[in-house]
Amino acid sequence: MDLRNARKEKGVTQESLARQVGVTQGYISLAEAGTYIPGRTIREAIEARLGRVDWAATRGLLRHRQGLLDGWEHADEQLRQGLMAFRTLNGSQAKAEFIKAARAYIRDIEELEELQ
């Protein structure tokens, strides 16, 4: 289980965990986001409080978030072009496909916000 889920499962706040292991709440937040993985001493202190943490899964959050961001750059351009073309679309099927793609884009944005 990644750091964030391990902490939440135990009902511990970021602030409380930070105090217990001797770091700041911001440090815990960045570690949960996968921005960096704490050093061995801090990892051991966190695991003493929360139990086993899957640090590879925590690091995977960063790769997933970066993948979303990279995809968004491409999606932003596609969405801009789609919005320009939307006025010229003929038929409800074409408009429905565009709306479906726009909704998927919005879900990706919401997912990224949850990871932060």
At 23-52, the pLDDT tens digits run 988 889 888 887 777 888 888 999 999 999
Among the three residues 56, 78, 93, which one is the final residue of a domain in this structure? 56
- Looking at the fold, whether 66 and 111 belong to one and the same domain comes out as yes
53 and 2 Cβ atoms separated by less than 8 Å: yes
List all residues 6 or more positions away from 6 whose beta carbon is below 8 Å from its beta carbon.
Answer: 50, 51, 52, 53
User: What domain range includes position 52?
Assistant: 3-56
pLDDT computed for residue 79 by the predictor? 66
* Residue 56 vs residues 39, 50, 61, 77: alpha-carbon distances, Å: 14, 16, 9, 32
pLDDT band at residue 7 under the 50/70/90 scheme: very high
Q: Judge whether residue 82 has pLDDT over 80.
A: no
Using an 8 Å Cβ cutoff, are 6 and 50 in contact?
yes
pTM (predicted TM-score): 0.54
Q: Can you give the CATH number for the domain in which 36 is found?
A: 1.10.260.40
Residues 36 and 78 in one domain: no
- Residue 61 contacts residue 34 (beta carbons within 8 Å): yes
| Last-in-domain residue among 56, 74, 95 | 56
